[in-house]
Amino acid sequence: MEAKAKARFARVAPRKARMVADLVRGKSIARAREILQFSTRDAAEIISKVIESAVANAEQAEATVNTDALVVKTICVDEAPTFRRYQARAKGAAEPIRHRQSHITVVVATREEA
């Protein structure tokens, strides 16, 4: 059984979120929670919430699912539209500021399917 959750337009750069996603890909849910809890990266909190949402979706879809048997099957961090701002610089120049965003998708599955 698979369950999916998405976080769209998350205010974290995709490159930074992918570093955290690589840590939990293929791990059990308990191990992934532990890794994310002690990670100092800001993206860890966002990814943790998406994983918890996917686990809740799995429980909602099938009441007999054992959460200890779930693993992070796939975790994908895609680039979302970028906020563009400009900051004033010397001599009337402007410097672009790019606030990058991410779409984070997590799929959890039972150990047999993964």
Residue 78 pLDDT class (50, 70, 90 cuts): very high
Is residue 84 exposed (0-12), middle (13-18) or buried (19+ Cβ within 10 Å)?
Answer: exposed
Nearest to 12, CA basis, from 74, 80, 76, 72: 80
Give yes or no for residue 50 having a pLDDT over 90. Answer: yes
Query: What is the structure's pLDDT at 62?
Result: 81
Tokens, residue 67: 């959460």
Query: What is the structure's pLDDT at 47?
Result: 97
pLDDT digits (tens, 9 = 90+) for 3-22: 999 999 999 999 999 999 99
Percent of the chain residues past pLDDT 90, beyond the cut: 85
Give yes or no for residue 91 having a pLDDT over 80. Answer: yes
